[in-house]
Chains A and B, each alone.
Chain A
Amino acid sequence: MLARILEFNHALRDAGIPVAISESIDALHALDHIELAEREPFKAALAATLIKDEAQRPAFDTLFDLYFGTGRGPEAHEEQDAAESSVTRDELLDRLMEALRAGDGDALRAIARSAVGRFGRLEGSGSREWYSNYEVLRTLDPNTLLERLNQEIDDSGVSGFEAQVLRDEFARRMRAFRAAVLADTRRRVAEYRGPEAVASYAVQPLPEDLNFLSATADMADLRKAIRPLARKLATRVALKRRRSTRGNLDIRRTIRHSLSTGGVPFETFNKHRAPRRPELVILCDVSSSVARFARFALMLTHALSAQFSRVRSFAFVDAIDEVTRFFDHEDFLAAVDRMNQEAAVVFDDGHSDYGSVLEHFLDTYGKEVGPKTTLLILGDARTNYRARKAGALKTLAQRAHHTYWLNPEPVNDWDTGDSAASEYAAVVDQMVEVRNLRQLEEFIERRL
């Protein structure tokens, strides 16, 4: 048991969760006080001592299943599978539909187990067994099932909110079923090949580590991470500003307070200086190659708008348009959608043209950039082999208080192909690699 728990701790660390030694020891102490045979308390005890952030929970759950949901050996699975080998697809489907209608979680898990045993096995993949959740879901086709359930709702004459609540419940149960199928395939593979083999690919990176440019990044997870992140950043930035702006001695307050100690000023008070709040001007490449990055950066900076005296944002592809107006309301998702539809950012062929955009910005909005302005440029600096016009950027950078360029490409890719990264980097204060939310957060905290 001890060995298993230590292995589990290692797996957590490999997944990017910093488990301190003192925390491992706490976990072991905690296990003295609970019934090890009961799964829920055991899991809760490990979770309470080893992870200290809810964002780490999915990784913890996945690994917990692998390390403590297994161990009875493959034979246990094989026996049960043999007993169920005659179950047909239609029988399973009927049982599944019934469980989905009733919302019976235990039944859903049992069906997931049978389904994986029956349809999940991959033949001929090397020397040993391998299972795939993809095979199972292809055979059972959850989307068709959901459609059938929704059709049942329509036929039963329920309408309005009741129908919607039912639909949501079916969708939620189906998600639970998919998760159960995935968990069971992983458990089976872990039985054959050991949990380490599965842990290396099963754990999703934390949302703040997801790459903006990769296609696999789950948009919903990223979006959910944005608002709490913005809130955290806002308090941190505000705190930093406030602390750095302690003014002169506030004589009135100090004397007033000293009256309670007989006129002896035990405590002094300082005046607050009005905080310096920069004006932010954002130029944002929204061409398809970096669109996702642009959306998150815009959402995050506008969520922070209270920390700046003014935020103006401009979007461009090969033409530039001001998009500040879309972000007036707090609903940033809607704002980004409207921006995509309404902003006049494409003039010619939909490939970014940094040179002409910079020049045009300088001509039209150049006056807006002054000594109070912090200018942010978001884009990959890929010019599609058009004129670069770094001179225009240089003029802007000289007028602005600070100019930063956030580049979503890894540093190693800068200057390859049509990238003009270092040419632009030379004329701005700094070009920063921002590939995920964590880096974006770091930049905002340090520089803004």
Chain B
Amino acid sequence: MDQHRFADVDEVTARLADSGYLADDAIATVVLLAERLGKPLLVEGPAGVGKTELAKAVSAAIGSPIIRLQCYEGVDESKALYEWNYKKQLLRIQAGQGSSWTELSEDIFSEEFLLERPVLKAIRSEDPVVLLIDEVDKLDFEAEALLLEVLSDWQITIPEMGTLQSRRVPFVVLTSNNERELSEALKRRCLYLYLDYPTIEREREIVTRKVPDLHTNLADQVVRIVASIRELELKKAPSIAETLDWAQTMLALNVESLDDATVEKTLPVLLKFQTDLDKARSHLKLG
């Protein structure tokens, strides 16, 4: 493993900012620690606060490619870790008529016949990589257990072949929407970062950075209204992505300054449920 990729917390913040991600002190510290301690980073939080974005920004900041495992129910070892290349094995058996079984079995259960899936690929990579295990809470319990060996010892045991050690420790980011409780064992192995909706100041900065043409007064109004709306009990509070969409909408509509009518008209960009819309409208005293 090469020497530390970040000198200190400030450097993390700066490099993440260069790759388009505004990190606060907490985020930068945890990224630094994940890199220094070589521990996976578990990022939890509501949808649309930039969990996956963080992984991408880290990948850009340290200049390593990202290997992504998108989780869903039914992901098993053949989709996450490795699979034997049955067809190639069959061909080898047919081509090798006459040779003894011991010879053959040693041959067909070798790395040549192994199909690497994202996790194995990440730990066998010669170059540094970022492994993103996205929406890990969608995994079944069994599949979650498969990850434990990888995440603590950086190795994968394949019954027919033995244990494959990692060539270098990848930077692992796991994200979760907290759809279900992850196992204690998994959580214990990770550093934990909860990404919440940003403070008004940070969100204002994000908006100005991502929608630079928007007038600063307007950006300020946008994030303050969003902050007010997030305090309501909603089915789905507006995410950062939706705030940005809303800001883009203002730009597209050539709005100079927000008034009740404009807010009323464009609110569906922020809120996607009728009950949420009604609540926000009555809270903001619109119409």
Question: Which of B32-40, B54-62, B202-210 forms contacts with chain A?
Answer: B32-40
Q: Give the distance to chain A from B41, nearest Cβ to Cβ, in Å.
A: 8
A87 within 8 A of B: no
A4 within 8 A of B: no
B17 within 8 A of A: no
Q: B179, A168: Cβ atoms under 8 Å?
A: no
Query: B185's closest neighbor in chain A, by CB?
Result: A20
Q: A161, B188: Cβ atoms under 8 Å?
A: no
Q: B90, A264: Cβ atoms under 8 Å?
A: yes
The complex places the Cα of A5 from the Cα of B134 at a distance, in Å, of: 33
Q: A26-B39, A235-B180, A333-B233 are in contact. Are A40 and B192 (CB under 8 A)?
A: no
B285 within 8 A of A: yes
7 intermolecular pairs with C-beta atoms under 8 Å apart: A35-B8, A45-B30, A161-B263, A223-B233, A261-B86, A264-B86, A330-B235
The complex places the Cα of A236 from the Cα of B190 at a distance, in Å, of: 23
Q: B25, A44: Cβ atoms under 8 Å?
A: yes
Q: B86, A266: Cβ atoms under 8 Å?
A: yes
Q: A44-B25, A52-B187 are in contact. Are A329 and B275 (CB under 8 A)?
A: yes
Q: A41-B29, A44-B25, A329-B275 are in contact. Are A163 and B285 (CB under 8 A)?
A: yes
In the complex, what residues of B have CB within 8 A of residue A169's CB? 224, 227-228
Q: A48, B192: Cβ atoms under 8 Å?
A: yes
B284 within 8 A of A: yes
In the complex, what residues of A have CB within 8 A of residue B228's CB? 164-165, 168-169
Q: A164, B284: Cβ atoms under 8 Å?
A: yes
Chain B interface size band reads 35 or more
The complex places the Cα of A143 from the Cα of B90 at a distance, in Å, of: 79
A325 within 8 A of B: no
Q: Apart from A165-B224, A266-B86, what 10 extra A-B contacts exist at CB < 8 Å?
A: A33-B33, A34-B29, A44-B30, A54-B44, A57-B194, A160-B285, A160-B286, A168-B228, A169-B228, A231-B179
A18 within 8 A of B: yes
In the complex, what residues of A have CB within 8 A of residue B106's CB? none
In the complex, what residues of B have CB within 8 A of residue A224's CB? 233
Sorted from nearest, which 6 A-B pairs have the closest CB atoms?
A52-B187, A40-B25, A44-B29, A44-B26, A161-B284, A160-B260
Q: B140, A239: Cβ atoms under 8 Å?
A: yes
B241 within 8 A of A: no
Q: B9, A35: Cβ atoms under 8 Å?
A: yes
In the complex, what residues of A have CB within 8 A of residue B224's CB? 165, 169
Among A30, A43, A48, A232, contact of B179 (Cβ-Cβ < 8 Å):
A232
Q: A164-B283, A165-B225, A236-B180 are in contact. Are A52 and B29 (CB under 8 A)?
A: no
A29 within 8 A of B: yes
B42 within 8 A of A: yes
Q: Give the distance to chain A from B169, nearest Cβ to Cβ, in Å.
A: 15
* Interfacial residues of chain B within 75-108, with CB under 8 A of chain A in the complex: 86-87, 90
Q: Give the distance to chain B from A169, nearest Cβ to Cβ, in Å.
A: 7
In the complex, what residues of A have CB within 8 A of residue B42's CB? 52
Q: B231, A54: Cβ atoms under 8 Å?
A: no
The complex places the Cα of A161 from the Cα of B32 at a distance, in Å, of: 41
Interface residues of B (CB under 8 A from A): 8-9, 25-26, 28-30, 32-33, 36-37, 39, 42, 44-45, 73, 86-87, 90, 140-141, 178-181, 184, 187-188, 190-194, 196, 221, 224-225, 227-228, 231, 233, 235, 258-260, 263, 275, 283-286
In the complex, what residues of B have CB within 8 A of residue A239's CB? 73, 140-141
In the complex, what residues of A have CB within 8 A of residue B221's CB? 165
Q: Give the distance to chain A from B6, nearest Cβ to Cβ, in Å.
A: 10
Query: A41's closest neighbor in chain B, by CB?
Result: B29
Query: B190's closest neighbor in chain A, by CB?
Result: A52
Q: Most chain-A CB neighbours within 10 Å: which of B37, B73, B227?
A: B37
Interface residues of A (CB under 8 A from B): 18, 20, 22-23, 26, 29-30, 33-35, 38, 40-41, 43-45, 47-49, 51-54, 57, 159-161, 163-165, 168-169, 172, 223-224, 227-228, 231-232, 235-236, 239, 260-262, 264, 266, 329-331, 333
The complex places the Cα of A168 from the Cα of B87 at a distance, in Å, of: 64
Q: Most chain-A CB neighbours within 10 Å: which of B184, B263, B284?
A: B284
Q: A261, B283: Cβ atoms under 8 Å?
A: no
Q: A49, B275: Cβ atoms under 8 Å?
A: no
Query: A329's closest neighbor in chain B, by CB?
Result: B275
Query: A258's closest neighbor in chain B, by CB?
Result: B86
The complex places the Cα of A236 from the Cα of B178 at a distance, in Å, of: 12
Q: A18, B90: Cβ atoms under 8 Å?
A: no
In the complex, what residues of B have CB within 8 A of residue A161's CB? 225, 258, 260, 263, 284-286
The complex places the Cα of A43 from the Cα of B178 at a distance, in Å, of: 23
Q: Most chain-A CB neighbours within 10 Å: which of B9, B190, B231, B286?
A: B9
In the complex, what residues of A have CB within 8 A of residue B196's CB? 54
Query: B37's closest neighbor in chain A, by CB?
Result: A29
The complex places the Cα of A231 from the Cα of B179 at a distance, in Å, of: 6
Among A33, A159, A227, A262, contact of B36 (Cβ-Cβ < 8 Å):
A33
Q: Most chain-B CB neighbours within 10 Å: which of A26, A165, A266?
A: A165
The complex places the Cα of A172 from the Cα of B227 at a distance, in Å, of: 10
In the complex, what residues of A have CB within 8 A of residue B259's CB? 160
Query: B78's closest neighbor in chain A, by CB?
Result: A267
The complex places the Cα of A227 from the Cα of B276 at a distance, in Å, of: 15
The complex places the Cα of A57 from the Cα of B42 at a distance, in Å, of: 16
Q: Give the distance to chain B from A101, nearest Cβ to Cβ, in Å.
A: 14
In the complex, what residues of B have CB within 8 A of residue A29's CB? 37
The complex places the Cα of A18 from the Cα of B30 at a distance, in Å, of: 21
Q: B33, A23: Cβ atoms under 8 Å?
A: no
The complex places the Cα of A394 from the Cα of B138 at a distance, in Å, of: 42
The complex places the Cα of A44 from the Cα of B184 at a distance, in Å, of: 20
Q: A261, B286: Cβ atoms under 8 Å?
A: no
In the complex, what residues of B have CB within 8 A of residue A44's CB? 25-26, 29-30
Among B29, B188, B286, contact of A45 (Cβ-Cβ < 8 Å):
B29
Q: A20, B188: Cβ atoms under 8 Å?
A: yes
The complex places the Cα of A40 from the Cα of B32 at a distance, in Å, of: 13
Q: B188, A22: Cβ atoms under 8 Å?
A: yes
Q: Give the distance to chain A from B280, nearest Cβ to Cβ, in Å.
A: 9
In the complex, what residues of B have CB within 8 A of residue A23's CB? 188
Q: Give the distance to chain B from A421, nearest Cβ to Cβ, in Å.
A: 32
Q: A30, B286: Cβ atoms under 8 Å?
A: no
In the complex, what residues of A have CB within 8 A of residue B9's CB? 34-35, 38, 41
In the complex, what residues of B have CB within 8 A of residue A52's CB? 42, 184, 187-188, 190, 192
In the complex, what residues of B have CB within 8 A of residue A163's CB? 285
